[in-house]
Amino acid sequence: MRLASAYDRLNYGRTLSAYFMRRGHELLEKPFGRSRIFGKVVEVGAGAGEHLQYVRHQFAEYLMTDWNEARLERARRALPREQQAKVSVAREDATRLSLPDGCADRLIAAHILEHLYRPHEVLREWNRVLRRGGVMSILLPCDPGLVWRLGRMLGPRANAERAGIDYDYWMAREHVNPINNLVVFIRYYFHDRIEAWYPARLPASDLNLFYLCHVTKA
């Protein structure tokens, strides 16, 4: 798919929108410094491995999963030599993981839940693979909030159209869940959570680009 092949260039190139995308990944990892240790980390929707470089905490094992084999292969090739012993890559359906119950100490979901149908069931599936006391970290775009839509018009849309991609059409197909619904689902299922919004910090989807949440499994 043309959008998939151009995804990294459009979202993580040298543009203002790419700066904010990288900033979202940085903020998701801000609570976890070098002194924090997780045993097994599972990342769903890892794509080409964009998020791993922002992880600061220590871990014994890191599993990157995605449904797109081509992007996973890029993640494999990009792994630094010093991480290859601890980091593995596997094709997985994020809505129905083949992992056993309670196997993960942390689950990372950066820019993935907005793409998945029946997100309330997906959240329960992700919670299933977490052990008690494990942490689920979620990063979401505030789409279709006002600031997100304005940012889309100022950068990504024009860049995509220059590449011959009908950006509005593909975003309508890809972003199937609005941020307000996703936040309702997260708050309904998970009470032990820490939320953040960026950049305005006020809890309003129209004023922010991203919503971040860390859930601790009871």
Helix (H, G, I), strand (E, B) or coil at 130: strand
Would you place residue 4 in the very low, low, confident or very high pLDDT band (cuts 50, 70, 90)?
low
Output the CA angle 93-108-140, nearest 5 degrees: 90
Please state whether the peptide bond connecting residue 199 to the residue before it is cis, i.e. omega within 30 degrees of 0.
yes
Residues 203-213 have a mean pLDDT of 97
Query: Which pLDDT score, from 0 to 100, does residue 154 have?
Result: 74
Mean pLDDT of the chain: 92
Q: What is the pLDDT of residues 24-43, one digit of tens each?
A: 999 999 999 999 999 999 99
Give the integer Cα–Cα distance in Å for 127 and 218. Answer: 10
pTM of the predicted protein model = 0.92
Q: What is the pLDDT of residues 44-91, one digit of tens each?
A: 999 999 999 999 999 999 999 999 999 999 999 999 888 999 999 999
**Of 113, 110, 131, nearest to 185 (Cα)?**
113
* Chain centroid to CA 88: 18
Q: Are 67 and 132 in contact (CB under 8 A)?
A: no
- Amino acid in the structure at residue 135: V
pLDDT in tens, 112-139: 999 999 999 999 999 999 999 999 999 9
pLDDT of residue 3: 52
pLDDT for the residue 9? 57
